[in-house]
Amino acid sequence: MTERAREIAVNLATFRDRLTRACDRAGRDPAGVTLIAVTKTFPVEDARVLADLGVTDFGENRDAEAKVKAAALPDVRWHFIGQLQRNKARSVARYAAVVHSVDRLELVEALDRGAAAAGRDLDVLVQVALEEPPRPDRGGVAPLDLPELAATVADADRLRLRGLMAIAPLGADPDEAFARLARLAGQVRAEWPDAGVLSAGMSGDLESAVKYGATHVRVGTALLGRRTYLVG
């Protein structure tokens, strides 16, 4: 085992303890919370280490990076969690197990066509903006527009509405934001019983997300360390 692999193994064990404690406090079964390891900016070798340790779900936020990793590591589930441009929808629809970031109508049509071209059905989450007022640079549909967008996804031929995704607002109380998200998720589930996925919680706020019903947490830093972004 390389030193990096050992470091990742320790981080994963620490994370699993933390998740178990969060579930205990929330009175939830840890089996009800799926870890999505966010590997953006890290090499696919790191993802392979995690896969060898039993991680089955991985998240990426850029198509160019995600499609290369998905091709290199095809036997796991790749989640597309980043803001999606319409012209990338066709590519993402080929390899993504789930697209978490559908936040506007034009993406529904583009992903539906992409899924049809790939000859498959695609699981989709609608991303909700929890900022008040909504901030377009962080993605997400405003809660008022959520019902129409969710209905459009549910009606699309090759898309399956599976639930909601959100990112807690920067510098705000995550409990407040995730409580609001939980109410919206309840409304969506009442209308579409198959839409029970709630993708919420990252390295910094997963306890709060678990408390408010997250079924999927998207965790990067706690597993792989701080990201450095190369410019240019």
Q: And the tokens for 49?
A: 């280490």
For ligand PLP, the binding residues in 54-83 under the rule CB under 6 A are 61, 81-82
Strand partners, 36: 57, 218
218 interacts with ligand PLP by CB under 6 A: yes
Q: And the tokens for 139?
A: 């993605």
202 interacts with ligand PLP by CB under 6 A: yes
| CA-angle at 61, arms to 170 and 83, nearest 5° | 65
Residue matched to tokens 């919680």: 201
For 215, which DSSP code? S
Identified binder of ligand PLP from the candidate list 40, 88, 158, 162, rule CB under 6 A: 40
Selection from 154, 180, 210 nearest residue 22 by Cα? 210
Stretch that binds ligand PLP, among 45-53, 103-111, 153-161, 213-221 (CB under 6 A): 213-221
With respect to ligand PLP, which residue has the nearer C-beta, 181 or 219?
Answer: 219
Contact, 122 vs 159, CB < 8 A?
Answer: yes
20 interacts with ligand PLP by CB under 6 A: no
220 interacts with ligand PLP by CB under 6 A: yes
Residues in binding contact with ligand PLP, number by CB under 6 A: 14
Enumerate binding residues for ligand PLP (CB under 6 A).
38, 40, 61, 81-82, 167, 202-204, 218-222
